[in-house]
Chains A and B, each alone.
Chain A
Amino acid sequence: MATLNDYLLISGLLFSIGLAGVVLRRNIIIVFMCLELMLSAANLTLVAFSRFNVADNGLPDPSGQMLVFFVITVAAAEVAVGLAIIVALYRARQTIHTDELVSLKG
């Protein structure tokens, strides 16, 4: 059986990889994907906690999984809006490289 530490370590690694992608990559779509990776890492911790710290009746605590459900739904809404912004940005500037997007008003 994997212990809670294993799950936390794995999700911390996933979060670190996502953070590295956000900091290092210049393509705004990849940055966006890495944000999703970080959200998923948080989801993994939540589900692990819900399984390891069971509710009073001995079943996995559904409250942790509820938060994961809400996070996934909000992430879906966020992706839709974010990608619409990226498309609008690309129409205005013809680039999605963060190095070339340096002014607030074009």
Chain B
Amino acid sequence: MATSEISLDSIFSEALEIESPQQREAYLDQACRNDDKLRQQVQRLLDAHFRVGNFLGGPAVGDTMDVAPIVERPGMTVGRYKLLQQIGEGGFGVVFMAEQQAPVTRKVALKVIKPGMDTSEVIARFEAERQALALMDHPHIAAIYDGGATESGRPYFVMELVHGIPITEYCEQGELAPRERLELFQTVCQAVQHAHQKGIIHRDLKPSNILVTLHDGEPVVKVIDFGIAKATNQRLTERTLFTRFGGMVGTPLYMSPEQAELSGLDVDIRTDVYALGVLLYELLTGTTPFEKDRLQKAAFDEVRRIIREEDPPRPSVRLSTLASQSRGLKGPGKQSKPSRPNVSSDLDWIVMKAIEKDRKRRYATSREFEMDLQRYLEEKPIVARPPSMLYSLNKFARRHRVRIAVGCLVASLLVICGLWLNTIYTARTDAQFAQRVAELREKLAAGDLPGAEQAFEALGRSPHSHNPAVAAGGIQLATTLANSGQLEKSHAVIDRVRSEWTINQLKTLPDSDTKQLYSML
């Protein structure tokens, strides 16, 4: 093994220990000193590491080696908790209903995280946020009680037991009216706002983490899993989402564009606002902004691109597309879902503001989001607005930079060509005009009065008809006509000269012509 390989190895491992991208950069600068090549190599490996997903996540043949099944079973004891029954299973792990025995006896939910994550790291991150989590006290947030490692070395979390169903399912099953959905959603916003005020970002808001239970027949929202996404460090890159080369396990449907970025991950409360926006979209239309099928089929980088760049249709547009699709597929009267009323344009803009790609353009807090919904419900003017024409144009221009550049180039070429053609045309008509004026004078000199009259007529229709030279020709024609006794024709010509040429134009005529004109009046 070459020496460079050793330092590459140790710098790489050291850099991975550092969580903050800025500190990592600083470390790399210091560790690689002036060795640009080494620095490049480390960077290449780090980039690969963050993109690695579940590459080599399983053996070439047979089952995934690390996924030893979770051995915890009902009847076993984990810490102070006795497992009673399994109540859920997902990509993350297994949830049990458990009984806490000390210091108080109560039933709790105990979540054992699946293998694939470093237990000590998970627990360290959980411990770091534990104090903040303990400060959360809200009727719509499931309390987090405890966390630790099981005997088999898996991280686990203990939280308030919630018997509920995902909010989307609840709304569908109960066929809730839009107003009821919005009101229920508002309580979700309030819960999330409370957590944000305590400095906790959820990072993984999705219907399966927002449960609805019935208390005396009234729906009560409970947001679960606060603090868990951070502890388990779930990212788009991690194997929570992908198996092997591309099969997706988790869901990127509620993932914000900034989470879809691979490096320099900085997540703030607006990430939760985004996820809430996606949830509202789903509550109103029955589908997420990006369709599940599409994201599931797309390759890893394509998923990231869609989340970061594509603008989803507004809820009302999606609804009308869905309506026409279901008409086409099922025929009239066979719709499986209750028809949803139209989404008003105000609601459209509220949802679209929450799921803006650029988080600066989203609602800054979930409270703002909730207040705007309240204004909508009270039929007051809302804050969210359709994007201004200028903004849309700007975005359009950014998307189609190359096309617009080419278009501009073509347009300016066209203008240049036009000007050039015009110059040629003008030069040609100028030459023709001079020729016609000369013809008029020749005919007059030759005494060919009908010919001169024709030539004057023709000049009157040319683009240069207002040229004083035409007027001068006219005056001479009128004089000649008068001299030859054709007074009527002479007056007609003089009248035309007087009506078509302004005094100012006539002033530019030679004195002899003007005198003649006045003498004729």
The reply to whether chain A is a binding partner of chain B is no
Chain A contacts to B: CB under 8 angstroms: none
**Which residues does B use to contact A, with CB under 8 Å?**
none
